[in-house]
Amino acid sequence: MAQGRGVPGDHCALNVTLYSPGASRWTMTERGAGHIERGRDHFRIGPSALHWRDGVLTIEIDEITCPLPRRVRGTVTVRPQGLCRYVAALDAAGRHRWGPIAPCADIEVALDSPGLRWRGHAYVDSNEGDEPTTAAFDEWDWLRARTRDGRTVVVYDVRPRAGGEERLIATRFGADGSAEPFDPPPRHALPLTGWRIRRHARSETPSVVASTLEDTPFYARSMLRSRLLGEEVLAIHETLDVRRLDRGWVQVLLPFRMPRRA
């Protein structure tokens, strides 16, 4: 990002993050074009790979954590309940876009290292852009929750660079991939993170931070207890401080969490 436009195929990584007592892991090794292979239904990044077959996404993981080297190896299987064609622009010019691919899905995790096995609900989405994130945004907050009827609620709250138009997306997705907008609730401030990042969440009542999963100089991921569409939900929440990401001292720190294998 700091060097301007690059070739996407020369900057690929499989980010695996586990939150489990005694078995937490983080991997995000960036690899060059010589380490990737892709086709219509597969994408290999170094020793790991993704396969799409018969409506099922299989992720074969073989990665090493950073900065402390520990192996993460196993398989994640994602079975979408329905695919979604919804795409929304995150900026006024439409250079940045977001959309869920499988807003409602089932997942099976089978890891040998660390030894973890579980099944649950999953969500798959996509962000894409025609320019660096720093060209368009100051910060954003994003929230996702599953409601009792099995639908997925997403609120995307985007603050652009000074003078730009704020973007607010509030959409409820069905298991069949259908999308239905709803009136977004008020924005409430959350406590500052350990790195003093401001974060906010849209909720009918002020949200409570149940757990902060990631606390970095420019990004935070949390679990919130919120109220959406008249229902108490446990939500995944993310804050990205793009201005902080663009600072030189943060760029220097990135290789400690994201090493490169060219």
Domains contained in the chain, number: 1
User: Would residue 248 count as lying in a domain?
Assistant: yes
What is the SS3 assignment for 40? Answer: coil
Q: Each residue of 87-112: b (16+ CB within 10 Å) or e?
A: ebebbeeeebebbbbbbbbebbbebe
Is pTM beyond 0.75? Reply is yes
**Cα–Cα distance for residue pair 23/233, rounded to 1 Å:** 26
Q: pLDDT tens digits for the chain (262 residues)?
A: 445 567 888 999 999 999 988 889 999 999 999 999 999 999 999 999 999 999 999 999 999 998 899 999 999 999 999 999 999 999 999 999 999 999 999 999 999 999 999 999 999 999 999 999 999 999 999 999 999 999 999 999 999 987 778 999 999 999 999 999 999 999 999 999 999 999 999 999 999 999 999 999 999 999 999 999 999 999 999 999 999 999 999 999 999 999 998 7
User: Would residue 118 count as lying in a domain?
Assistant: yes
User: Would residue 5 count as lying in a domain?
Assistant: no
Residue 2: its pLDDT value, please? 46
Whether the Cβ atoms of residue 175 and residue 81 lie closer than 8 Å to each other: yes
**Cα–Cα distance for residue pair 22/114, rounded to 1 Å:** 9
Q: Which domain holds residue 192?
A: 10-261
User: Would residue 154 count as lying in a domain?
Assistant: yes
User: Would residue 95 count as lying in a domain?
Assistant: yes
Task: For residue 37, give both structure tokens.
Answer: 């292979």
